[in-house]
Amino acid sequence: MDKKAMREEAERLMREAMATRNVTVKQGDTVINTTCGKCGAPNKVKAPKGVSRVAYVCKECGAKQETL
């Protein structure tokens, strides 16, 4: 392997590592505070930025629902 090929390989690996990091690190996630429609318990639900309706399961009673 010559120097040019080695440098290209290193750059390729770095790009792949950065792409993987971008996928695994979720930036801008928001936490929605919501109240269970069944038992009234407060729940914190993680949601991607810009999404206001998220399906979740109440931590107290286990009811499946969506945040409003």
- Which of 29, 43, 28, 20 lies closest to 66, judged by CA? 43
Contact stretch for Zn ion (CB under 5 A) within 7-15, 17-25, 29-37, 48-56: 29-37
Separation between Cα atoms, residue 28 and residue 32, nearest integer Å:
13
Between 37 and 48, CB nearer to Zn ion = 37
Distance in angstroms between the alpha carbons of the first and the last residue of the chain: 58
Between 48 and 62, CB nearer to Zn ion = 62
Site for Zn ion in 40-59 (CB under 5 A): 41, 58
Note the residues at the interface with Zn ion (CB under 5 A). Answer: 36, 38-39, 41, 58, 60-61, 63
